[in-house]
């Protein structure tokens, strides 16, 4: 009798789990910058703290991680659905990142060089903004830190978590 081959584990999942268990990720959790809500490969759901100390849910498609950038969208954690545009963050840079005239046509993606859809729409960003652009050496913590930075002065409308 031959043994059944064990299923091959996705290397992206293995890398993501390592990154989520890292001291770098944990330091953001400990500082109250973000928290892990769930991981159901290839979907990662996190909550990121905005400037008003309220949480913005984000659903990230991490298929292809880390070679491919995460593809994020604001997420209603209570309903487990996309967050309505009316409940997106407002104030200063938040409105340029959660771009009401660009993001909805692009999977509600943040308008950033670390996001898959942002990079697909603007391939020049990788060369023009390398310090903010995703590359395969980045970790999920980099992505979360970029979103958190843009939410630093943001307010979340009433009805948020």
Domain boundaries, the chain: 11-150
How large is the greatest C-alpha to C-alpha distance in the chain, in angstroms?
66
Strands 71-76 and 81-82: antiparallel
Q: Which two structure tokens, joined as six digits, stand for 120? A: 């697909």
d(CA 143, CA 94): 15
Position 11 confidence tier, pLDDT thresholds 50, 70, 90: very high
Position 9 confidence tier, pLDDT thresholds 50, 70, 90: confident
* pLDDT of 5 higher than 90: no
Report how far Cα 152 is from the mean position of its chain's Cα atoms. Answer: 15
Buried b or exposed e, range 54-63, using 16+ CB within 10 angstroms: bbbbbbbbbe
């Amino acid at each position: 009798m031959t043994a059944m081959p064990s299923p091959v584990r996705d290397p992206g999942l293995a890398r993501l789990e390592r990154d989520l268990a890292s001291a770098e990720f944990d330091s953001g959790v400990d500082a109250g910058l973000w928290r892990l809500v769930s991981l159901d490969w290839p979907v990662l759901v996190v909550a990121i703290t905005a400037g008003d100390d309220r949480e913005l849910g984000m659903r990230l498609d991490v298929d292809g991680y880390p070679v491919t950038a995460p593809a994020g969208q604001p997420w209603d954690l209570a309903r487990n659905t996309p967050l309505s545009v009316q409940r997106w963050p407002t104030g200063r840079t938040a409105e340029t990142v959660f771009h009401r005239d660009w993001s909805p046509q692009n999977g509600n993606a943040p308008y950033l060089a670390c996001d898959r859809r942002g990079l697909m729409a603007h391939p020049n960003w990788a060369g023009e903004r390398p310090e903010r652009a995703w590359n395969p050496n980045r970790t999920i913590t980099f992505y979360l830190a970029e979103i958190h930075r843009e939410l630093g002065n943001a307010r979340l409308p009433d009805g948020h978590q």
